Structures are given as structure tokens and as C-alpha cells.
Amino acid sequence: MARVVVVGAGIVGAASAYRLAERGLEVLLLEKEATFAQGSTGRSAAGVRVQFSEPLNVLLSYHSILEYQRIPEAAYRPTGYLFLVPEALREAQEEALRTQKALGVPVERLSLEEARKRVPFREEGLAFATYGPMDGTIDPHGATAFYLREARRLGAEVRFSEAFLSARREGGLWRVETPKGRYEAPYLLLATGAWTGEVGRRLGLEIPIYPVRRMVFATAPAPFPHAFPLTIDLATGFYLRSEGLRLLFGRSNPKEPPGFREGMDWSWLGPTLEAGLARFPFLEGLSLDPRASWWGYYEVTPDHNPILGFVEEGLLVAAGFSGHGVQQAAMVGRLMAEEVAYGQAQTLDIGPFRLSRFREGKPLRERGIV
Ligand SMILES: Cc1cc2nc3c(=O)[nH]c(=O)nc-3n(C[C@H](O)[C@H](O)[C@H](O)COP(=O)(O)OP(=O)(O)OC[C@H]3O[C@@H](n4cnc5c(N)ncnc54)[C@H](O)[C@@H]3O)c2cc1C
């Protein structure tokens, strides 16, 4: 039985470990933290959506959402994603809509009047809206816990508080070192999220994935009833959604430098609110709850698409989702298991997301990034 060492117990490593074990492979999962989902997975905004511009992103999310629907622990809620499209992006968004419809995923074009029935906003500068009725949220902790439990049930060994230090290829095997032991395996899978660039350097490899801090702001419970879908103003990148009685909102700071910068950057609250209030004036009546707000790392690649599959003999990468990995992990886990079992993923062609696109200077740009 071939052995696979998986590094990282986020949702991607957990889903991969499960699917590899399901195919009868002997799996060892190493995680540097004391438990699972302590990286980006535990800090995501938990959104899932089929509304992307790149066909492979649409399909990875679509198939993953279908899987999350069947896992009670994933607590899938079809609360929807509403994109507000400014005139300047009319063409690009029309094209994305055509791509999504051609792939047969559920997405609707709405007039601004129809969209305003879901969340009140100022229409200035907007052309139309798109709505994904299958989009929504899951519980990333619950899904990760499910995958790990199932992986263990099928014989996978999960070692927490054991960091991957280094590995070298010798005699057709990866010889892996941690502070606690040495392991040998023909396959090594890096599911190390924002840390993948750093881990790659230990293997002498340049893997273009770097951490960028992102924040989610939370209001105190709102004094009015609401059930807002995740609504994105594409003019500014400001988004909001309901979470119980609270609202969550945010906006990516394009000037945030890459790196492991910790904590909330409260200086970004002002520019975030400025964009938010201009589109959603009702926010003025809400107070911020600083203790319920949080930060985490996006695991960013130069084209905002993940790096998937073999990068050299016996070495696989499944990382760099650039802020949309929770919603793609289920399918990525299956594809990584196929990649090991057959030498190449079968259910979807992951060619566009292989590392080679950067080596060949052919990045693909995903436009539907939040
Ligand atoms: C604020 C915010 C909002 C987000 N919102 C969304 C959203 O709405 N929807 C969505 O789909 N995605 C969202 N994301 C992105 C999403 O969280 C990530 O894409 C996803 O969690 C990536 O999962 P992962 O398993 O690849 O990485 P991670 O969850 O980061 O897991 C990597 C694991 O590797 C471990 N590791 C690293 N180095 C080592 C080592 N040397 N040895 C052993 N273990 C190691 C880490 O400790 C970590 O547990 C958001 C992210 C943030 C920060």
C-alpha cells in the first residue's frame, strides 16, 4: 500500500486525507498546530459560491457545494450571493454570467429593483445584479472535523503539534523530517495554505504562494430583522452579509503588503466604511463589535487561482486558493486522490491550475475575487 504524507490539517488537507484513505492509500497527516482548522480555514467568512469567471473555479465550487449539501456537519445554508455590477464592469460580468450558464450552474441576472428586494442599496453607477441561489455558507470547522474523522476511520494517522521541517527525494521516496520523527513515503502532498511558499523553499522549490492579511468586521446585533445574502458591490469590493442577528462586512485592502502581519489593522475600518456607507446607508444605524471582528491570511498566488497537482516526482501541492479555498476543498480532495491513484486527476482537468502556468509565464486571472 503506497504511503502519502499530507502536510496541513486545514479543510484542504483534511478533505485530501479522507479521499486518499478512501482509495486504500496509507495516509499520514502532519499538522504543526495542536488541532485542526487553525490556519485560514478557521478564519474564513465561510462563503460558498459558483459565481466565478474562470470555468474551473465555477466547477470546483459547484461540485464542492454539492458535496457539502450531503454532509450534515458542513451545515450548508443556501443564503445566496448577490453581485452588484457597476457600468464599468458590465461586459466582464456579462461574460462571467455566460460562462456560468454554459456550465449549467444556478445563477440569475436581476434588475436593480429585483436585487433591492434582497438588500436595500443605493443604485448610483450600477447596471444590474447577479444572484446565485445555490451560493451561501458552510461551517468550515464542521466540514474539516468530518473529513478528519472519516480519514481516521479509514486508517489515516493524524499527528497534531508535529511540524514538517524538511524532505528530500531518495530512491523513489520522500524522506520527511519533523522535530519528532522521520517518515518515508513515495508521495508528499503540501496542503499548507499561506505557509506553502515557505515550506516549498525548504524543498528548494519556488512555489508562488504568499500570505496577505484580510479582516472581517462584525456589527453588534442589528435593531431590525434582516437576512441579507452575501452582497458584493463590485465597484469598490465592499461586501456584507447577515450572520444571525449581526452583519459581517469587509473590503480587501489592495495595499496590504504580503507577509505574516498579525492582528486587526483598525486603520482600514475607515476606508471600508466609506465604501460601505455610500452604497448601504442603513449601516450608519449599526455599531461595530470589535471583539467579534477577526483577521486571517489569504493564501495568495499571482493570478488568484490555486496551484493543484504534481509539481515534481511524488510531490503534490493543493494550496493558494487566494481567499476561496473553503468552497473548493471538497472537490480538490477528490482530485488530489485521483492524481495519486491514476497519475492525473480524472473528474476535472486541473491543467489550467498547475504550477507550470507560472513557469511558462501563462497566468490565468480570476476576476471574481472578493
Ligand atoms: C478573512 C478571510 C475570509 C475568507 N473567506 C472565505 C470565504 O468566504 N470562502 C472561502 O471559500 N474561503 C474564504 N477564505 C479563504 C479560506 O479560508 C482558505 O482558502 C482556505 O481555508 C484554505 O484552506 P487550506 O486548508 O488550504 O489552508 P489552511 O486552513 O491555512 O491550512 C493549512 C494548514 O497547514 C498547516 N501548516 C503550515 N505549515 C506547516 C508545517 N510546516 N508543518 C505542519 N503543518 C503546517 C497550518 O498550521 C494550517 O493548519 C477566507 C480567508 C480569510 C483569511
Q: Which CATH number do you get for residue 176?
A: 3.50.50.60
CA distance 117 to 323: 28
Residue 326 alpha carbon, nearest atom of ligand 1: 11
Same-domain check for residues 183 and 227? no
pLDDT over 80 at 2, yes or no = no
Sign of CA dihedral 157, 159, 160, 166: negative
Among 6, 11, 44, residue to substitute to test ligand 1 (most atoms within 8 Å of Cβ): 44
Question: Which atom, in ligand 1's list, is nearest to the CA of 13?
Answer: 25
* Nearest CA residue ID for atom 35, ligand 1: 8
Do 73 and 146 lie in a common domain?
Answer: yes
Which of 326, 335, 370 for mutating ligand 1's site (highest number of atoms within 8 Å of CB)?
A: 326
Question: How far away, in angstroms, is 122 Cα from ligand 1 center?
Answer: 34
Sign (positive/negative) of CA torsion 157, 163, 164, 165? negative
pLDDT digits (tens, 9 = 90+) for 332-344: 999 999 999 999 9
- 120 pLDDT more than 80: yes
323 Cα: distance to centroid of ligand 1 (angstroms): 8
* Three cell numbers, residue 117: 428586494
Q: Which of 197, 159, 153, 234 is nearest to 317 (CA)?
A: 197
Ligand 1, CB within 6 Å, residue ranges? 7-13, 30-33, 38-41, 43-47, 163-164, 191-195, 199, 214, 216, 296-299, 319, 321, 323-327
What is the pLDDT, as a whole number, of residue 246? 98
* Per-residue pLDDT, 1: 60
Task: Please count the residues of the chain.
Answer: 370
Find the domain containing 248 and state its range: 88-133+213-296
Q: What is the DSSP string of 221-278?
A: PPSS-----EEEETTTTEEEEEETTEEEEE---TTPPSS---S--GGGHHHHHHHHHH
The pLDDT of residue 166 is above 80: yes
Same domain, 219 and 368: no
* Confidence grade of residue 46 (pLDDT, cut at 50, 70, 90): very high
Q: Are 143 and 129 in a shared domain?
A: no
CB-based burial, 25-60: b 16+ in 10 Å, e otherwise = bebbbbbbbeebbebbbbbbbbbbbbbbbbebbbbb
Q: Is the pLDDT of residue 275 over 70?
A: yes
The reply to whether 222 and 342 lie within a common domain is: no
What count of Cα atoms within 13 Å lies in the side-chain half-sphere of residue 280? 26
For 301-336, write each residue's pLDDT tens digit: 999 999 999 999 999 999 999 999 999 999 999 999
- For residue 295, report the distance from its CA to the centre of ligand 1, in Å: 12
Helix extents (H) in the chain: 11-22, 55-69, 90-102, 112-115, 140-153, 196-202, 269-279, 329-342, 356-359
Residue 99: pLDDT above 80? yes
Question: Mean of the pLDDT values across residues 42-49?
Answer: 98
- Closest residue (by CA) to atom 20 of ligand 1? 325
Q: Which of 275, 296, 317 is the last residue of a domain?
A: 296
CA of 11 to the centre of ligand 1 (A): 7
Q: Quote the pLDDT of residue 370.
A: 80
- The pLDDT value recorded for residue 290 is 97
Same domain for 140 and 58: yes
Confidence of residue 369 (pLDDT cuts 50, 70, 90): confident
How far from 151 is each of 15, 36, 143, 358, CA to CA, in Å? 8, 13, 12, 33
**Among residues 274, 296, 318, which one ends one of the domains?**
296
Residue range 60-77: mean pLDDT, rounded: 98
Residue found by looking up cell 457597476 in the block: 86
Work out which ligand 1 atom sits closest to the CA atom of 137.
8
Cα 81 to averaged position of ligand 1 atoms, centre (Å): 21
Q: How far is the CA of 39 from the centre of ligand 1 (A)?
A: 5
Is residue 37 domain-shared with residue 51, that is, in the same domain?
A: yes
CA of 359 to the centre of ligand 1 (A): 24
| 190 close to 12: Cβ distance less than 8 angstroms | no
- Domain boundary pick from 268, 296, 324: 296
- 329 CA distance to ligand 1 centroid (A)? 10
From the alpha carbon of 322, which atom of ligand 1 is closest?
A: 19
| CATH code: domain of residue 269 | 3.30.9.10
Q: If you measure from the C-alpha of residue 41 to the centroid of ligand 1, how many angstroms do you get, rounded to a whole number?
A: 4
Same domain (yes/no): 182, 217? no
Which residue pairs from 95-100 have beta carbons closer than 8 angstroms and sit at least 24 positions apart in sequence? 95/53, 96/51, 96/52, 96/53, 96/130, 96/367, 96/368, 97/130, 99/53, 99/55, 99/58, 100/50, 100/51, 100/52, 100/58
Q: Are residues 257 and 347 in the same domain?
A: no
Q: Is the pTM of this model over 0.75?
A: yes
Rounded mean pLDDT of the chain?
A: 97
If pLDDT is split at 50, 70 and 90, which confidence band does 365 have? Answer: confident
222 and 367 together in one domain:
no
Write down the pLDDT at residue 357: 96
Distance, CA of 296 to CA of 40 (rounded, Å): 6
Paired residues of 310 in beta bridges:
316
CA-closest residue to ligand 1 atom 10 = 324
Q: Which three cell numbers stand for residue 359?
A: 513557469
CA 192 to ligand 1: nearest atom: 34
| For the chain, counts of helices (H) and of strands (E) | 9, 19
Question: Alpha-carbon distance 310 to 343, whole Å?
Answer: 8
Ligand 1 pocket test, candidate residues 41, 308, 353, most atoms within 8 A of CB: 41
Measured in Å, residue 16 CA sits from the centre of ligand 1 at: 14
Q: How many domains are contained in the chain?
A: 2
User: Binning pLDDT at 50, 70 and 90, where does residue 14 land?
Assistant: very high
Instruction: Give the confidence band of 359 by pLDDT, cuts at 50, 70, 90.
Output: confident
- State which H helix or E strand residue 300 sits in: strand 294-300
pLDDT of residue 362: 87
| Nearest in space to 39 (alpha carbons), one of 256, 332, 297 | 297
Q: What percent of the chain has pLDDT over 90?
A: 96
| 210 Cα distance to chain centroid | 14
Residue 131 has pLDDT above 70, yes or no: yes
* Ligand 1 atom nearest residue 323's Cα: 15
- Average pLDDT of span 198-203: 97
